[in-house]
Amino acid sequence: MSSITKHHSSARFSAETFAENIGGIHGNKSLIENCIEVTNRNPRNLERLLIARKPQGYHLEKQFRNFWHKLQVSPFQRYVVVEIVHFQNGPVITVSSNEWALKKLLYRKYDSMAYIALGQVLAQRCLESGINEIYYDESPNSKVSLLLKELEKNNIILREPDRYIHPYPWSLFRPEKPWETHE
């Protein structure tokens, strides 16, 4: 027998010895039994599955609060600030024409080209952070409509989908579950 075959024959293990040498390979059953708490590392997961609650508010309130992410445009005298606001956590994404990189490219920080540039930058930041749908409820003026067109051009939907509500067993209409895909 050559030295190569001797080396390979001595390296064989049974399944039990292999598991002991690795350091305790085990199944998921033991992990579930020993689990004390679960931490959701993606708090937006329920929103993406369309099952998270949206705040209803009261019907006499002036501001409508039935959204997860809302677009807010704040024009100031010399610049413009556009924010995506989460209903619970406040501003998530903020773009301003007063930022150094945008300020250097714009002739004026409050004209129509500033709104178009803000729309492009906001759409890029939204897609990078995973926000595809936002809520916008106000009637846009001419400059804000340029911003909204730029967002739509860059695949941002300006209407949030409805929340999935589990139907009653006797319901005639059964909506498709957002977490199931049918091909």
What digits encode the pLDDT tens for the residues 12-49? 444 454 445 455 555 666 666 777 776 767 777 778 77
What digits encode the pLDDT tens for the residues 43-79? 777 787 788 888 777 777 766 778 889 999 999 999 9
Where does the pLDDT of residue 119 fall: very low under 50, low under 70, confident under 90, or very high at 90 and above?
A: very high
Q: What is the pTM of this model?
A: 0.70
Residue 6 is predicted with a pLDDT of: 42
Residue 28 is predicted with a pLDDT of: 66
Fold of 25-162: Nucleotidyltransferase; domain 5 (3.30.420)
- Sequence ranges of the domains in the chain: 25-162
CA dist 104 to 51, 71, 93, 107, 159, Å? 43, 25, 21, 8, 32
Give the three-state DSSP class for 124.
helix
